[in-house]
Amino acid sequence: MEPDHQPEKLELFYTPDTCALASLIACFEAGLEPVLHPVSFAREEQKRPEYLAINPKGRVPALKVGAEILTETPAILAFLAHIAPHAALAPTDPLGFARVQAFNSYLCSTVHVAHAHRMRGHRWVDGETHEEAMRRKVPEAMRACYAYIEDHAFVGPFVFGDAFTISDGYLFTLAQWMEADGVDPDRFPHLKAHRERIGQRAAVRRALGIEHGLMQNPD
């Protein structure tokens, strides 16, 4: 099904095994076909002038919409839901949409940041001793995040009930890192079942296939 209002051209700047996967999933769920621009962190392409001209933050994702650039996953997801209302990727009533934004903001500002302490402690502290202390804290911090989601966030089989929303693809993206973050998925049965359920969706399988291809063929 075609989206209700697709801009003339969408370009997604994307790195495998990052939160950019959530935006790619949302594109495919919405029936959108962005031009995909892989950004290699291994080659530090995010620090090159060419990419910094796209996103001065030096991070992914970035979504180019015509001449405009959107950054930050919650903003990109909200935009994609808005331009494809037929896909029902977010509630249309103000309170319902605000709930989605609150959940996605928690993923962005708390869950993802706690995860990032495992490999990017240099953003916050100087010295290996301090970075190692941050890494040791990650499993505890992540378990606390997932305990909140497990106990308070789920309304139904999906985050907000019986229908997939942009929050589901975003949560799936971060939950893929549970084991690497020292979290046992069996301690969180709702989250584990959600991760398995979302992973079976056609749009998600397609996005993961693209991610796998980029990881196998980084050039």
pTM confidence score = 0.93
Amino acid at 72: E
Distance separating alpha carbons of residues 106 and 101, to the nearest angstrom: 8
Residue 2: per-residue pLDDT: 46
Distance separating alpha carbons of residues 174 and 20, to the nearest angstrom: 10
Residues 6+ apart with CB under 8 A from 168: 158, 159, 194, 198
Residue 1: per-residue pLDDT: 39
Residue 118: per-residue pLDDT: 87
At 76, list the tokens: 């990109």
At 176, list the tokens: 């893929």
Pair 33, 48: CB distance under 8 Å: no
Residue 39: per-residue pLDDT: 96
Amino acid at 25: I
pLDDT in tens, the chain (219 residues): 344 555 668 999 999 999 999 999 999 999 999 999 999 999 999 999 999 999 999 999 999 999 999 999 999 999 999 999 999 999 999 999 999 999 999 999 999 999 988 888 788 889 999 889 899 999 999 999 999 999 999 888 999 999 999 999 999 999 999 999 999 999 999 999 999 999 999 999 999 999 888 666 666
Radius of gyration of the chain (CA): 17
User: From the CB of residue 52, how many other CB atoms can be counted at a distance below 10 Å?
Assistant: 12
CB neighbour class for 24 (10 Å; exposed up to 12, middle 13-18, buried from 19): buried
Distance separating alpha carbons of residues 14 and 40, to the nearest angstrom: 9
